A and B are shown apart, each in its own frame.
Chain A
Amino acid sequence: MYCFILPNKLANWNTASFLVSGTLVEASPIEFEKNSTVAVVKRIAESILDEGGFVSKIESLGARELPYRMRAHGQLHSKGSYFLLDFVAPPIKIADITDNFKRDVDLIRPVVFNKEDPLPITCTLHQEIKPPAYRSEVQKMIQEAKQRVPISKRKRFKLVTSVGYNPF
């Protein structure tokens, strides 16, 4: 049971929470021995704490057959358990933490993601549906094409006569 008081120095750390996903246990059948998986998860959490991180959530997504066979540490795996670990750690140490995961034999696919809310998106489909001449992107392309015309041609005097030809 880990219990510690965070020092004030932590205020300088980047408190971005990272999601560790897919920390799969090695080839154990569906009726796995609970102790071994628990031991692995504990080991992972401890490694994060050793690097100066703080684990906020541990979630299990169950054990099942993998979507495709994965090779890890010289072995081919077709079944595994999925775990999620939400943690906060100093940005410098993230690389070290990931490195440690990769060295762990029991982890098949350790991945660390940055937990960020996606930016709000306003739908632009009504503009993309328009006929090409009315689309802003196409209009930009036309403008660019006009810019590429050499200045001598671009700035050439255009005679405007109602007759359609030069009467002089």
Chain B
Amino acid sequence: MALTCGRRIFVLAKNSLLSHPAYLRLPGAVYSGRASCSTGGGQDGPHTPEDVMSFDAEKLEELLKDDIPVDMSNPYQKEKVQCLLCKYDVKLDYKNVRLLSQFVSPYTGKMYGRNITRLCRKRQEELKSTIAKSKKAGYMAVMLKSVEFLKDPKLFDPNNPIRPHNF
């Protein structure tokens, strides 16, 4: 006889321990010549392998319709921290002295470092070259920050750097 479910059949010996009534919960399933599948002890009794194997493809699809995974990017992905200029996509222009002056110290007129401005490396380099360009072209003051820009909103706190600074 073909044992499709793969479980082993054991024939109880008459005087064995397992012949005790406590063990004989599913007498029908145990004594049957066929291997018992997990569906053997159900309400309708043991199923034939053919019943278990057959399924309706359309019915299955309908059941899984709401359960199929949706194509989307990882919703639990953490938002990457972006520097101020990258976040708002700010374009640095050598003519825009007011914006450049926001990154300059009001005490020394020098540009703040990355530990204070909290910009990414590339943006800091861009800022550095733009400020140099502006100063050379005669738009921006060199030794100081223009008086009209002293009361501009602060983009960062110079007294709270990541690393100590001299200015």
Query: Which residue of A21, A67, A125, A128 is within 8 Å of B95 (Cβ)?
Result: A21
Q: Are A67 and B139 in contact (CB under 8 A)?
A: yes
Shortest distance in angstroms between B134's beta carbon and chain A's nearest beta carbon? 9
Query: In the complex, what residue of chain B is closest to A77 when comparing beta carbons?
Result: B138
Query: Which residue of B94, B122, B146 is within 8 Å of A67 (Cβ)?
Result: B146
Q: Are A124 and B142 in contact (CB under 8 A)?
A: no
Q: Are B138 and A121 in contact (CB under 8 A)?
A: no
Residues of A within 8 A of B86 (CB): 121-123, 125
Query: Which residue of A21, A22, A68, A129 is within 8 Å of B142 (Cβ)?
Result: A68
Docked complex Cα distance between A125 and B80 (Å): 8
Query: Which residue of B80, B126, B141, B142 is within 8 Å of A126 (Cβ)?
Result: B80
Docked complex Cα distance between A82 and B83 (Å): 33
What 0/1 pattern do residues 38 to 53 of B give for CB contact below 8 A with A? Answer: 0000000000000000
Query: In the complex, what residue of chain A is closest to B141 when comparing beta carbons?
Result: A67
Docked complex Cα distance between A122 and B95 (Å): 24
Query: Which residue of B123, B142, B143 is within 8 Å of A121 (Cβ)?
Result: B123
Residues of B within 8 A of A126 (CB): 80-82
Q: Are B137 and A109 in contact (CB under 8 A)?
A: yes
Shortest distance in angstroms between B145's beta carbon and chain A's nearest beta carbon? 10
Residues of A within 8 A of B97 (CB): 67
Q: Is B120 an interface residue (CB 8 A)?
A: yes
- Considering only CB atoms and an 8 Å cut-off, how many residues of chain B contact the other chain? 27
Q: Are B141 and A68 in contact (CB under 8 A)?
A: yes
Q: Is A58 an interface residue (CB 8 A)?
A: no
Interface residues of B in 68-107 (CB under 8 A from A): 80-83, 86-87, 91, 94-95, 97
Q: Are A61 and B141 in contact (CB under 8 A)?
A: no
Docked complex Cα distance between A38 and B50 (Å): 98
Q: Is A142 an interface residue (CB 8 A)?
A: no
Residue with the highest number of chain B CB atoms closer than 10 Å, among A61, A113, A126: A126
Q: Is A108 an interface residue (CB 8 A)?
A: yes
What are 15 A-B interface contacts by the 8 Å CB criterion? Answer: A21-B94, A24-B138, A82-B139, A109-B137, A111-B138, A113-B94, A118-B126, A121-B122, A122-B86, A123-B83, A123-B120, A124-B121, A125-B80, A125-B82, A126-B81
Listed from nearest, the 10 A-B pairs whose CB atoms lie closest are: A123-B86, A67-B141, A109-B138, A125-B120, A126-B80, A123-B82, A22-B137, A126-B81, A125-B83, A111-B137
